C-alpha cells in the first residue's frame, strides 16, 4: 500500500515535473530560435554590408594598384574593417588593416590633445606667449599665444608654401628645424594674431618644439609614452629621420599621364603638423579614447574639441587640431590629411560613438568617403552635406579679364630680402611669366589694378614709385601671404 502510494505519488511528481518543465522548454526553444534567427539576420546584414562596401571600394581592388584600408567603429568596437590593393607595388605586399601610413594632418589632433593634457596637468597654459617657451623666436611686437598656434590665427608664414617659393619641390626633404628657421627670418606677421584664420603647418611644428621644452623629452618619445603606448597603439610611430625604416609601412604613389604608378617619397621629418604613421586599427583605439578617457579626462577631450574664435568674436570652425561642426544633421569631429601620396580621413560622431577612418596610399584613386558614410551611418545622417577638406586647393573664379596695355613695365629681376630669392619676370609668346632658374615658369594673368593671378589662389600685387613705374610687388602664395619683392634690376 505504501509502496503503491509512493509509486503513484512519484508518478504524480513526475507528471507535475513534466508539466512544470514543458513551458520552460518551450521558452528556451523560442529563445534559441530567436537567437538563431537574429544571428542569421546579423550574418546576412554583415554579408550584405561587406558586399556593399566591396562594391564601393571596387576601384581600389586589385594587385596592380596602391592600397587602402578602413575601419568602422561603434561604441569602441571595430564593427567592419577591410583592406584593398597593395602596400608595396615593388614587392607585391598586400595592404592590411594593420599596415601603417603617414596620417598627414590627421596628426594635428594628437598634438592638440597633448597640449590639452599638459595644460590640465599645469605644465603650460594655452594662453602662454610662445616666446616663453621658445625665447629665440623674434618679437613681432604682438603676443602670439599657444592657442593662436592651435587655432591657426598666429600670422606666421606657412612652411610648405613659403619654401615652395624658394627652391623646394614636393618630395624634397623638409625638416623639423625649418619651422623655427622660417619664423626667425620672417620680416613681419601676415596679420595681427587672432584677427584672421589661415590654416598653417608651421604653427603645429612649433608646438612639437614647445612640448620638448616643457617635458624635457623628445617629442616622439613623449607621445609614445603618454598617448600611443597607454592606448595600445603599438603600430603607431612618428618619423624623426629621413628614410627611417618603419615596420609595416606602406609606400605612397602617384599615377602619371601615361597611367604608370610612380613612388612618391616621404622625405620630411615634420613633427606636430604631420609625420605620425599609424594603421586603421590603431586609429580605432584612438577614437575609443574620445569616450573612455583611458588617457586624459572628459575635460581633456572637451578642450580638444572646443572651437576657436577671432579677436572680434567671430567663430572658427576649427578646434584644437580637429574640425568640429554639424554635418548632415549630426555633430561631427573630423580631419583629413595628405603627405606625399598618402591620404587619410578620420570622422567621429560623438553623440552616437560611431567613427570611420580611411587610410590610402595615393590621391590618384578617389576615396569614396560620402558613399562609405552612407553605407555605415546612413541611418543617422541626413542626405545632404560634405565633410570639410582642409587640404583643398582654392579654385580661381572665372571672370572676363581686362587687357594689359604696358606689359614691358613689369619685366625685370625681382628680389625678396626675406627669402633671399630672385625671380625673373619676362615676356614670352603668350604674355608675361614669372620664372625661377630652378623652379617652374608661371604664366601671369592680369586681373586689373596692377594685380596678376598665378592660378591656384596665388597672386602678385604691384606697387609703383613716384614716377609711376612698378617698383615692387607683394606675393600671396596660398597660405603664405604678403611676401615682399623689390626690383633688383
Q: What is the pLDDT of residue 269?
A: 84
Q: Give me the pLDDT at residue 6, please.
A: 32
Domains of the chain, by residue range, sit at 1-56, 62-377, 407-487
What is the side-by-side order of every strand in the sheet holding 276-278? 101-102, 276-278, 237-238
pLDDT at 392: 65
pLDDT of residue 19: 34
What residues have CB less than 8 Å from 461, skipping those under 6 apart?
Answer: 449, 450, 451, 473, 474, 476
Question: Any idea which architecture 407-487 has in CATH?
Answer: Beta Barrel (2.40)
**CATH domain 62-377 topology:** Beta-lactamase (3.40.710)
Nearest CA to 363 among 343, 391, 344?
Answer: 343
> Whole-model pTM above 0.75?
yes
- Over residues 47-60, the pLDDT tens digits come to 788 899 999 999 99
Neighbours of 34 (CB within 10 A): 10
Contact 344, 86 (CB under 8 A): no
What are the residues whose beta carbons fall under 8 Å from the beta carbon of 30, sequence distance 6 or more? none
* Predicted pLDDT of residue 395: 55
The per-residue pLDDT for 267 is: 77
For residue 481, the model assigns a pLDDT of: 95
Residues of the chain falling short of pLDDT 70: 1-45, 170-171, 392-403
Q: Name the one residue in this structure whose C-alpha cell is 604608370.
A: 260
pLDDT value of position 18: 35
Buried b / exposed e along 237-258 (16+ C-beta atoms within 10 A):
bbbeeeeeeeeebbbbbbbeee
End-to-end alpha-carbon separation of the chain, Å? 132
How many whole angstroms separate alpha carbon 464 and alpha carbon 487? Answer: 11
Cβ pair 351, 366 in contact under 8 A: no
- The confidence score (pLDDT) of residue 31 equals 41
State residue 75's pLDDT score. 95
The pLDDT assigned to 425 comes to 97
Amino acid at each position: 500500500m505504501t509502496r503503491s502510494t509512493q509509486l503513484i505519488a512519484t508518478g504524480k511528481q513526475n507528471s507535475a515535473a513534466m508539466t512544470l518543465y514543458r513551458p520552460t522548454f518551450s521558452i528556451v526553444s523560442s529563445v534559441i530560435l530567436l537567437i538563431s534567427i537574429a544571428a542569421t539576420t546579423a550574418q546576412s546584414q554583415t554579408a550584405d554590408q561587406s558586399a556593399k562596401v566591396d562594391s564601393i571600394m571596387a576601384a581600389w581592388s586589385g594587385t596592380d594598384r596602391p592600397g587602402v584600408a578602413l575601419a568602422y567603429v561603434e561604441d569602441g568596437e571595430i564593427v567592419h574593417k577591410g583592406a584593398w590593393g597593395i602596400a608595396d607595388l615593388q614587392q607585391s605586399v598586400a595592404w592590411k588593416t594593420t599596415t601603417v601610413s603617414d596620417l598627414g594632418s590627421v596628426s594635428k589632433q594628437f598634438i592638440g590633445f597633448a597640449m590639452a593634457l599638459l595644460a590640465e596637468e599645469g605644465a603650460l597654459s594655452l594662453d602662454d606667449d610662445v616666446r616663453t617657451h621658445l625665447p629665440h623666436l623674434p618679437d613681432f611686437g604682438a603676443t602670439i599665444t599657444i592657442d593662436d598656434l592651435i587655432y591657426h590665427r598666429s600670422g606666421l608664414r606657412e612652411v610648405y608654401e613659403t619654401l615652395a617659393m624658394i627652391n623646394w619641390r614636393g618630395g624634397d626633404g623638409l625638416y623639423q628645424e625649418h619651422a623655427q628657421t622660417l619664423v626667425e627670418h620672417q620680416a613681419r606677421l601676415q596679420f595681427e594674431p587672432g584677427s584672421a584664420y589661415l590654416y598653417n603647418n608651421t604653427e603645429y611644428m612649433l608646438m612639437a618644439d614647445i612640448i620638448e621644452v616643457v617635458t624635457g623629452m623628445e617629442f616622439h618619445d613623449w607621445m609614445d609614452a603618454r598617448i600611443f603606448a597607454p592606448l595600445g597603439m603599438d603600430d603607431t610611430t612618428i618619423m624623426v629621420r629621413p628614410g627611417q625604416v618603419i615596420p609595416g609601412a606602406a609606400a605612397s604613389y602617384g599615377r602619371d599621364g601615361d597611367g604608370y604608378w610612380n613612388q612618391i617619397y616621404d622625405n620630411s621629418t615634420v613633427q606636430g603638423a604631420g609625420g605620425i604613421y599609424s594603421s586603421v586599427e590603431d586609429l580605432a583605439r584612438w577614437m575609443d579614447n574620445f569616450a573612455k578617457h583611458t588617457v586624459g579626462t572628459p575635460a581633456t577631450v572637451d578642450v580638444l574639441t572646443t572651437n576657436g574664435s577671432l579677436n572680434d568674436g567671430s567663430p572658427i570652425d576649427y578646434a584644437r587640431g580637429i574640425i568640429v561642426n554639424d554635418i548632415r544633421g549630426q555633430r561631427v569631429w573630423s580631419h583629413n590629411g595628405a603627405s606625399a601620396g598618402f591620404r587619410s580621413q578620420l570622422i567621429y560622431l560623438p553623440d552616437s560613438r560611431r567613427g570611420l577612418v580611411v587610410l590610402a596610399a595615393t590621391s590618384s584613386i578617389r576615396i569614396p568617403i560620402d558613399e562609405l558614410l552612407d553605407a555605415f551611418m546612413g541611418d543617422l545622417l541626413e542626405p545632404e552635406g560634405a565633410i570639410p577638406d582642409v587640404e583643398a586647393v582654392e579654385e580661381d573664379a572665372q571672370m572676363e579679364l581686362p587687357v594689359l596695355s604696358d606689359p614691358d613695365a613689369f619685366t625685370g629681376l625681382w628680389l625678396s630680402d626675406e627669402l633671399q630669392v630672385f625671380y625673373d619676370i619676362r615676356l614670352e609668346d603668350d604674355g608675361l611669366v614669372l620664372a625661377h632658374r630652378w623652379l617652374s615658369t608661371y604664366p601671369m594673368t592680369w586681373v586689373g589694378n596692377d594685380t596678376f593671378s598665378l592660378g591656384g589662389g596665388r597672386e602678385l600685387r604691384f606697387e609703383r614709385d613716384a614716377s609711376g613705374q612698378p617698383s615692387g610687388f607683394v606675393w600671396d602664395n596660398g597660405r603664405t601671404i604678403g611676401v615682399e619683392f623689390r626690383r633688383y634690376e
